[in-house]
């Protein structure tokens, strides 16, 4: 039996923190890295993140006139692609819990002329501020691992999807290749913080990002979590040897 004064804890990278504090700590990370986010993505993945996102777009089966929600959409890579696909009769909502990331995304897409069918909403994935059965498709790319209560977030996504709508979760995952795993660990815990220091003047945030990947559920565990949240026809595609996986689920 827990003491009524004790607080629930969760992980922030490899650290154990009060559950109520994680959202603020994650916010501080992304406040810090927002300005260099796109540059660091290209450097960290050597540009491969663009291929992962392109596959996500293909798997979305997005069509003209649809409503799409891009959660943790950050600087808007997926939103920009979806906006072109759904056209003037469709709508894309770029949602992010972090106002600095949302501002960078808005400025970037506005400068690129992507504005007529895109809305920007500061929102927590655990409690999405949308009515039931609103969206044809939801994507969350490299954002779920930063959510405190992933099960609650997945249920929230299920609620706002239309029946037959699909959820796509693009996230770092686990590789079974031992050699690749060792190389990836060495890269993550040596090169990433160093790049963070040199490019963004912030080694600690990129150390957290590397640690958060290791604490994220593996492919089979996340698929089971999606099933528990009410999704059917679940499955995943491993990419780059399982370093990244794209999970799919349908709302019945």
Binding residue positions: 75, 96, 124-125
Q: Is 32 helix (H, G, I), strand (E, B) or coil?
A: helix
Binding site for S-adenosyl-L-methionine, by residue number, is 75, 96, 124-125
Cα 8 from Cα 28, distance rounded (Å)? 21
Cα-trace Rg, the chain: 18
Q: How many residues appear in the chain?
A: 252
Q: State phi, psi for 153 to the nearest 5 degrees.
A: -65, -45
Cα 243 from Cα 42, distance rounded (Å)? 16
Torsional sign, CA 48, 241, 144, 27: negative
Non-local CB neighbours of 159 within 8 Å, separated by 6+ positions: 128, 132
CB atoms within 10 A of CB 157: 29
CB atoms within 10 A of CB 65: 13
Which of 59, 64, 66, 95 has its CA nearest to residue 79? 95
């Amino acid at each position: 039996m827990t003491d009524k004064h004790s607080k629930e804890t969760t992980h922030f990278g490899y650290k154990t923190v009060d559950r109520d504090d994680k959202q603020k700590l994650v916010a501080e990370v992304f406040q810090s890295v927002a300005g260099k986010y796109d540059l660091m993505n290209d450097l960290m993945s050597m540009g491969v993140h663009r291929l992962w996102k392109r596959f996500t777009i293909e798997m979305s089966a997005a069509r003209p006139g649809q409503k799409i929600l891009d959660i943790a959409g950050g600087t808007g890579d997926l939103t920009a692609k979806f906006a072109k696909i759904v056209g003037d009769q469709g709508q894309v909502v770029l949602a992010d819990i972090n106002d600095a990331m949302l501002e960078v995304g808005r400025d970037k897409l506005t400068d690129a002329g992507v504005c007529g069918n895109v809305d920007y909403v500061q929102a927590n994935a655990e409690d999405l501020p949308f009515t039931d059965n609103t969206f044809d498709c939801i994507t969350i790319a490299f954002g779920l691992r930063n959510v405190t209560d992933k099960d609650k977030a997945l249920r929230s996504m299920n609620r706002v999807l239309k029946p037959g709508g699909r959820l796509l979760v693009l996230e770092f995952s686990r590789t079974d290749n031992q050699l690749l795993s060792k190389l990836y660990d060495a890269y993550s815990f040596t090169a990433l913080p160093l790049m963070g220091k040199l490019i963004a003047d912030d080694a600690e945030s990129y150390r957290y990002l590397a640690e958060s990947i290791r604490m994220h559920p593996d492919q089979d565990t996340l698929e089971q979590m999606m099933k528990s949240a009410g999704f059917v026809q679940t499955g995943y595609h491993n990419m780059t040897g399982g370093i990244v996986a794209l999970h799919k689920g349908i709302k019945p």
